[in-house]
Amino acid sequence: MENSQFYLFIRGPLLWVAFVIFIGGIIFRTLQFFRLTQKKPPLTYSPIKNHEERYGKSSTLGRKMQLLVELKNSFFGQNPVVALVTLFFHILLFIIPIFLLAHNLLWYESWGIKLLSFSESTGNILTIIFLTLALFLLLRRLVVAEIRALTGKADYFVWVITVAPFLTGLICYQQWFNYQISLMIHILCGEFMLIAITFTKLGHMIFFFLARFFVSSEYTLGPGTRIWK
């Protein structure tokens, strides 16, 4: 009885608290970003004409070469293994919780929302892949001297916060231990991660999109209309 009351508490009010802090954190960080940046002033000089304006349209081979050079200079070219691991790690981090069948059933039960879902076995395999990638990133932190020099206690803490919901989710699905207790730990870990996004360096989830899309730079992915104040 005590267990079920606690379960209802973490599935109800505590989940709302986590969601409110998570959404509030996103709004707060976004506003902070816009306060710390300003609109990019117009150029006061004529920019150098680009290659196309100067020499006419380049050949297909030329464009391909240019793309290859850009790729080689990007960190996909410099460090392809880590770049791909990081990319898939982050993609899985987003899609697994959103498209997991068990989660979608909860969405449907609570609000009648139907989302696209993975089959249970796909969700299971993707979680295992995610945990393997996370292990790779942890080993990289422990083994590579350069990364070890940058790593502090907070980095390991953030790694644990990120991995715990997935590991406990896998334990729940496989029912390796007491299901009810595993499930409650899983929910708590998920809620803790949502809350931690606002207060820890997991906030780079928000910062990445703001800085890479809005701040003007050579590597901008979006309009790049702002600069730091």
Partner 1 sequence: MKETLRAVNNKKFQKILDQKKERMKFLLSFCAHCGLCAESCPLYRNYRKPEYIPAYKAINSLGKIYKKKNNIDLKLLEEIKELIWKNCVLCGRCYCPLGIDIPGMIALARSICRSYGIYGVYPHSLGEPL
Q: Does 146 bind partner 1 (CB under 8 A)?
A: yes
Q: Kindly give the interhelix angle for 80-99 and 153-174, rounded to the nearest 10 degrees.
A: 50
Q: Does 151 bind partner 1 (CB under 8 A)?
A: yes
Query: Does residue 88 belong to the site contacting partner 1 (CB under 8 A)?
Result: no
Interface with partner 1 (CB under 8 A), residue from 20, 27, 36, 69:
36
Query: Segment near partner 1 (CB under 8 A), from 20-28, 50-58, 99-107, 197-205?
Result: 197-205
36 close to 229: Cβ distance less than 8 angstroms:
yes
CA distances to 44, 46, 122, 227 from 40, in Å: 12, 16, 45, 5
Count of residues binding partner 1 (CB under 8 A)?
32
As a whole number of angstroms, the distance between CA 112 and CA 96 comes to 20
- For residue 127, which of 157, 97, 161 has the smallest C-alpha distance? 97
Among the listed ranges 9-17, 59-67, 97-105, 215-223, the one in contact with partner 1 (CB under 8 A) is 215-223
Confirm or reject binding of residue 39 to partner 1 (CB under 8 A). Answer: no
Q: Counting contacts by CB under 8 A, is residue 93 touching partner 1?
A: no
Distance CA 158, CA 57 (A): 48
Give the SS3 label for residue 37: strand
Binder among 178, 208, 223, 225 for partner 1 (CB under 8 A)? 208
Question: Smallest gap, in angstroms, from Cβ of residue 227 to partner 1?
Answer: 9
Residue closer to partner 1 by CB (options 94, 228) is 228
Of 95 and 211, the one with the shorter C-beta distance to partner 1 is: 211
**Smallest separation (angstroms) from partner 1 to the CB of 69:** 15
Note every long-range contact of 38-42, with CB atoms under 8 Å and residues 24 or more positions apart, other chains counting. 38/226, 38/227, 38/229, 39/225, 39/226, 39/227, 40/216, 40/224, 40/225, 40/226, 40/227, 41/227
Binding site for partner 1 (CB under 8 A): 32-33, 36, 75, 78-79, 82-83, 86, 144-147, 149-152, 155, 158, 201, 203-204, 207-208, 210-212, 215, 217, 219, 228-229
